[in-house]
């Protein structure tokens, strides 16, 4: 993917803060969603980032999120001393580009759009949804409308999950921004109500929510293609990454049996298929995972 360095105030770099910015040991609550990678670092347990996913009702730990999340002097790492500078700047560019795309898309429809923010951290972080360690992987918190990203996960993606490449990483960020789109559209709140009213359908609703975020990531990828910024192999990298975080594949990697009843994100085939659907159509209206089969 062709990219350039950008300066975006919506990117908050807290990697220089000791302890990753306030890891308190409290569990993260109802995060809006993630890749389904809780425990990839620990033991590949299959849970949604933040505890089950898709729900919009955030669990707020008192004092877990306040204005201290804003960048403070000494939070960021000087570029000349940053071994992750290129990954950091690439992540900032992808985030900025997805934000620009969705802002324009909402604007064309005459709908309001609130900016998300990207928080880069190390080890652990306090959020509007509670506290989390980097072991949970990337996630989105609807309570503060922020994507949380520990750049070390890129090594996990390329190594343990065998899904390397710059556009694989771009897919990760675009998926989390897909959850922000759902929050803006009210999908998060609707799913949360459905989960409360029909707790037995919680996992199935989570799967549909996550597949929609994959589809939205594909819609953004289509815009990158239209701009002429895709490079050979980029889409294959993204679909490989989507497949790598399928519930069935992660369960096999964990050494256990595949249990569809426990799925929270969808199979490898479903995840890659919905990303492709978004990419091929370039139309978010094609991302209705809540009607009919998936």
pLDDT digits (tens, 9 = 90+) for 151-181: 999 999 999 999 999 999 999 999 999 999 9
**Of 34-38, 228-232, 263-267, 277-281, which range is least confident?**
34-38
- pLDDT on residue 247: 96
Rounded Cα gap, residues 281 and 277, in angstroms:
6
For residues 67-91, average pLDDT: 73
Q: Where are the domains of the chain?
A: 11-284
Q: Which residues lie below 8 Å from residue 43, measured CB to CB, with a gap of 6+?
A: 254
pLDDT tens for each residue of 118-130: 999 999 999 999 9
* Strand, coil or helix: 166: helix
| Paired sense of beta strands 130-133 and 11-13, if any | unpaired
Mean pLDDT of the chain: 84
Find how far residue 197's CA is from the centre of its chain. Answer: 26
Statement: residue 22 has pLDDT above 90: no
pLDDT confidence band for 134 (50 / 70 / 90): confident
Residue 255: per-residue pLDDT: 87
Reply yes or no on whether the pLDDT at 21 is more than 50: no
CA separation for the pair 205, 244 (Å, rounded): 21
């Amino acid at each position: 993917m062709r990219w350039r360095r950008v300066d975006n105030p919506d990117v908050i770099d807290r990697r220089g803060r000791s302890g990753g910015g306030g890891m308190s040991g409290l569990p993260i609550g109802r995060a809006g969603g993630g890749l389904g990678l809780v425990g990839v670092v620990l033991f590949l347990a299959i849970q949604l980032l933040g505890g089950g996913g898709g729900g919009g009702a955030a669990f707020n730990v008192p004092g877990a999120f306040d204005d201290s999340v804003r960048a403070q002097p000494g939070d960021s790492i000087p570029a000349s001393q940053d071994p992750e500078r290129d990954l950091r700047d690439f992540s900032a560019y992808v985030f900025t580009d997805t934000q620009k795309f969705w802002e324009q898309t909402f604007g064309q429809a005459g709908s309001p759009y609130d900016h998300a923010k990207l928080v880069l951290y190390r080890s652990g972080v306090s959020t509007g949804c509670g506290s989390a360690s980097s072991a949970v992987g990337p996630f989105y918190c609807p309570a503060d409308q922020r994507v949380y990203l520990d750049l070390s996960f890129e090594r996990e993606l390329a190594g343990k999950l065998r899904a390397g490449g710059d556009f694989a990483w771009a897919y990760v960020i675009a998926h989390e921004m897909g959850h922000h789109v759902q929050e803006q559209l009210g999908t998060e709140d609707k799913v949360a109500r459905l989960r409360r009213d029909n707790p037995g359908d919680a996992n199935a609703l989570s799967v549909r929510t996550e597949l929609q975020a994959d589809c939205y990531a594909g819609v953004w990828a289509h815009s990158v293609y239209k701009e002429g910024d895709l490079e050979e192999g980029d889409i294959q990298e993204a679909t490989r990454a989507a497949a790598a975080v399928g519930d069935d594949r992660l369960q096999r990697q964990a050494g256990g049996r595949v249990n569809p009843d426990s799925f929270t994100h969808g199979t490898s085939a479903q995840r890659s298929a919905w990303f492709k659907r978004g990419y091929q159509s370039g139309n978010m209206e094609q991302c209705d995972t809540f009607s009919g089969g998936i």
